[in-house]
Amino acid sequence: MIKTVEWTREGVQFIDQRKLPTEEVYVLCRNYQEVAIAIRDMIVRGAPAIGVTAAMGVALGVQQSSAKDIQALRSDFNHICQVIGETRPTAVNLFWAIRRMKDKFDAVAGQSVETIKATLVKEAQQMHVEDIAANEAMGRHGATLMPSSGGVLTHCNAGALATCGYGTALGVIRAAVEAGKQIHVFADETRPFLQGARLTAWELIKDGIKTTLIADNMAGAMMRQGKIKAVVVGADRIAANGDVANKIGTYTVAVLAKEHGIPFYVAAPWSTVDLNTPTGEQIPIEQRSAKEMTHHAGKQIAPEGVLVENPAFDVTPNKYVTAIITERGIARAPLADSLKELAGAVVSV
Ligand code: MRU
């Protein structure tokens, strides 16, 4: 399995996603500041991977703290959480992970500094294990929704590289293929960061899954030609009413899918569901650098002085979402009720 993010004795290690698919190199972050940079600069990316990385960054920072008493350790801890919390605003998994680390700190706050440090490291490692298990559970649930054969479109990268392993949307595809379904993946290239062309295509080809790369503006034509039987994507934040924030361009795909009568599925772990955010309207959308648009592979492709919009994510209203696949089960319309029901579900992944 691809080692997207790994806890090591020396620090937190990542496969450098900016360099794929031409170079497979690993980056070691030796302190929490470097981990924060790795998230911000998208060496590591994808909501679940960002969440676990945030937890590991917090654990690393706390482990290296020179604090001698709990009060000083808590002060360091709060500062580390703040730095890591300011890296990327949309994927709620980042804030979910920090919250979980805070809860863990509180739970053991009466113990020694060394015990707190060890407990936080263990918690981050546990989140890594749980993420893979959640993906495998999503795969089992979601595989049943995939067609027995034919084209499945995906947008961005919601694979092993976006998680600790196996993937959410690509986990569903992997599980369907493992179950004998003859799936042919259509991967949107996903301008401007090209997660589809660089990452999704790389992962799927490595696994021997038949994959066709298309430019984002080809999805409608492929649907019209009958080449797409289902769409499955990941998510960065799912509001309480089932509105879905995901990579910019997802909304376009969802509208196209509805027009063509094609089911549109979202696969995401429960850590992506944000019941405290009522609708997609309240989800903060990250704006990234204009250079991602005006330059390609270091080369300028747009004229100096042009205005640029570069929102990294968009929101797909719940009416376009056929179902949300989580490790707790599948939510269907009305999504608000269905998500509420899953919130109370007993979790066994
Ligand atoms: O900007 P990115 O590459 O972090 O955005 C990633 C996505 O939008 C993914 O689709 C989403 O995080 C789900 S990953 C399982």
What is the best residue among 156, 233, 283, 286 to mutate for testing ligand 1's pocket, by most ligand atoms within 8 Å of CB?
Answer: 156
Give the pLDDT score at 348. 59
Q: CA triplet 163, 247, 259: central angle to 5 degrees? A: 120
What pLDDT sits at residue 1? 78
Say if residues 327 and 349 touch (Cβ distance below 8 Å).
Answer: yes
- pTM, two decimal places: 0.97
Indicate which atom in ligand 1 lies nearest the CA of residue 193: 3
Which neighbouring-strand residues pair with 186?
A: 153, 212
- What is the 158 CA–ligand 1 centroid distance (Å)? 6
Pocket test for ligand 1, best of 131, 236, 314, 324 (most atoms within 8 A of CB): 236
Show me where the domains of the chain are located. Answer: 5-135, 137-343
CA of 155 to the centre of ligand 1 (A): 9
pLDDT lower than 70: segments of the chain: 346-349
pLDDT attached to residue 270: 98
Contact between residue 331 and residue 323 where contact means Cβ atoms under 8 Å apart: yes
Residue 274, beta-bridge partner list: 239
Task: Retrieve residue 318's tokens.
Answer: 């719940």
Q: Atom of ligand 1 at shortest distance to CA of 91?
A: 12
Fold for the domain defined by 137-343: Rossmann fold (3.40.50)
Written in H, E and C, the secondary structure of 196-240 is: HHHHHHHHHHHCCCCEEEECHHHHHHHHHCCCEEEEEECCCEEEC
Ligand 1: centre distance to CA 280 (Å): 16
CA 313 / ligand 1 centre spacing (Å): 9
Out of 17, 20, 45, 248, mutate this one to test ligand 1's pocket (max ligand atoms within 8 Å of CB): namely: 45
E strand intervals along the chain: 5-7, 12-15, 26-29, 149-154, 182-188, 211-214, 228-233, 237-239, 244-247, 264-267, 273-274, 295-296, 299-300, 313-316, 323-326, 329-332
Query: Residue 90 Cα, ligand 1 centroid: separation in angstroms?
Result: 10
pLDDT of residue 347: 66
Q: Could you confirm whether 236 is annotated as catalytic?
A: yes
Digit-coded pLDDT (tens) for 95-152: 999 999 999 999 999 999 999 999 999 999 999 999 999 999 999 999 999 999 999 9
Q: Check 236, 243, 274, 314 and give the catalytic one.
A: 236
The pLDDT score that the predictor gives to residue 345 is: 80
Predicted pLDDT at 349: 55
In the chain, % helix, strand, coil (3-state, to 5) comes to: 45, 20, 35
Domain 5-135 matching CATH 1.20.120.420: the answer reads yes
Ligand 1 pocket, residues with Cβ under 6 angstroms: 45-48, 91, 156, 158, 162-163, 168, 195, 234-236, 246-247, 312
- Rounded to a whole number of angstroms, the distance between the first and last alpha carbons of the chain is 19
> How far is residue 269's CA from residue 93's CA, in Å, rounded to a whole number?
9
pLDDT at 305: 97
Q: Closest ligand 1 atom, CA of 45? A: 4
Token digits of residue 180 = 């004998």
